[in-house]
Amino acid sequence: DTGVSQDPRHKITKRGQNVTFRCDPISEHNRLYWYRQTLGQGPEFLTYFQNEAQLEKSRLLSDRFSAERPKGSFSTLEIQRTEQGDSAMYLCASSLAGFASTDTQYFGPGTRLTVL
């Protein structure tokens, strides 16, 4: 088990450009989460997948953000027309959950986005 991986680890882009991040969860984990963390703050929930279905989205997730998890394996988070306020660390987490349980989430190393 290699843990949750994220790619790239760092991304610098110019305002207005589109960026895409990838997350590979722990094998067999059926839940996948995206969080955003700004400097000195705790992570904030963005969205959540159960297998390939996106079941929850935060109000923080504007129309410029889209996430997918095709085939219930890896996930991508795309930000269109980036703004300077999008600069943050984007964290991915995965968990294995049964029905009506609260699982433990395991985090990846994150992708640090800097929008110039």
Partner 1 sequence: AQTVTQSQPEMSVQEAETVTLSCTYDTSENNYYLFWYKQPPSRQMILVIRQEAYKQQNATENRFSVNFQKAAKSFSLKISDSQLGDTAMYFCAFASPAIGAGNMLTFGGGTRLMVKP
Q: Which residues bind partner 1 (CB under 8 A)?
A: 31, 33, 35, 40-45, 48, 50, 55-56, 58, 89, 91, 93, 95, 97, 100-110
- Least separation, in Å, of the C-beta of 48 and partner 1? 4
Closest distance of CB 16 from partner 1, Å: 27
- Cβ burial of 4 (10 Å; 0-12, 13-18, 19+) is buried
Cα–Cα dist 43/28, whole Å: 24
Question: Toward partner 1, which CB reaches closer, 77 or 93?
Answer: 93
Our CB check for partner 1 shows the closer of 82 and 105 to be 105
